[in-house]
Amino acid sequence: MDSPLTVAALVTQHPRAVAVLQRHLIDFCCGGARPLAEACGRANLSLETLMDELHAEEARFTSPDTRWDLEPLPRLITHLLERYHAPLWSELPRLRAMATKVLRVHGDKDARIAEINVILSDLADELEQHMRKEEQVLFPMIGSGRGSAAGGPVAVMHAEHDSAGEALRAMRRLTDGYTPPAEACGTWRALWQGLEALEAELHAHIHLENNILFPRALRGGR
């Protein structure tokens, strides 16, 4: 009997599923190994509704996204670096600066701003170190065809992805799903928006690494 379709497999075969899963708060990067039916059940969503929304989402785009599971690994690595790492290197300092500013101006009105500052600052430190390791050690190893020997580093990257996922969940909880309070100024609103966008980008980024790049590399794929 075929094993049930996992959340990660759905996103791999249908890259547009990212938008649908995010809408229903279904974790597809670190929690991607769960069967899709189980994840839907927990989100109180029928599989039929999910697939209907996915088909509607796919119909909105004439050119489907690249199937990264079918592309050579060096191409996938270039894509990860250009599409996710480079923007993150500039987005993290921007978000940190914005969070510091909102804390200075409004920190006395809402204690959550200080908590967000701590979580974001730790997350940014961790992500910067994490990307450095991927860029300097792991990606070159995989790109040169030695990925099957990278079990140790890959395990470390998985643990760090889990930790980033934890920080994102904490920020989403703390901000009531990034709903700005009525009195929030423009910068405050922009901070919540920026954090929500960071979440979406990181989920898509980690999905490509956890569910496509690393497993293929460990299997000796090229």
Binding region for Fe ion (CB under 5 A): 134, 209
| Distance (Å, whole) CA 181 – CA 13 | 38
Q: 205 to each of 45, 81, 118, 199, how far by Cα in Å?
A: 25, 10, 23, 10
CA gap 222, 216 in Å, rounded: 8
- CA–CA distance, 135 with 128 (Å, rounded to integer): 10
Provide the angle, in degrees to the nearest 10, between the axes of the packed helices 86-106 and 186-207: 150
On the CB side of 14, CA atoms within 13 Å amount to 22
Least separation in angstroms between CB 166 and Fe ion: 14
Nearest to 90 by CA among 131, 122, 118: 131
Q: To the nearest whole angstrom, how small is the minimum distance from the Cβ of residue 80 to Fe ion? A: 6
Q: Which is nearer to Fe ion, 83 or 96 (CB)?
A: 83
Handedness of CA 15, 21, 25, 26 (dihedral sign): negative
Q: Which C-beta is closer to Fe ion: that of 25 or that of 156?
A: 156
- Compute the least distance from the CB of residue 205 to Fe ion, in Å: 6
141/208 Cα distance (integer angstroms): 17
Pick 22 or 163: Cβ nearer Fe ion: 163
Nearer to Fe ion, 110 or 162 (CB): 162
State in Å, rounded, how far the first CA of the chain is from the last one.
29
- Which of residues 17 and 206 has its CB atom nearest to Fe ion in the complex? 206
Considering the complex, what minimum distance in angstroms separates the CB of residue 136 from Fe ion?
12
Look at the block and give the residue holding tokens 């079990």.
151
Provide the minimum distance between the beta carbon of 39 and Fe ion in the complex, in angstroms, as a whole number. Answer: 22
Cβ–Cβ under 8 Å, residues 207 and 8? yes
Q: How far is the CB of 60 from Fe ion (least distance, A)?
A: 28
CB of 143 to Fe ion, least distance (A): 13
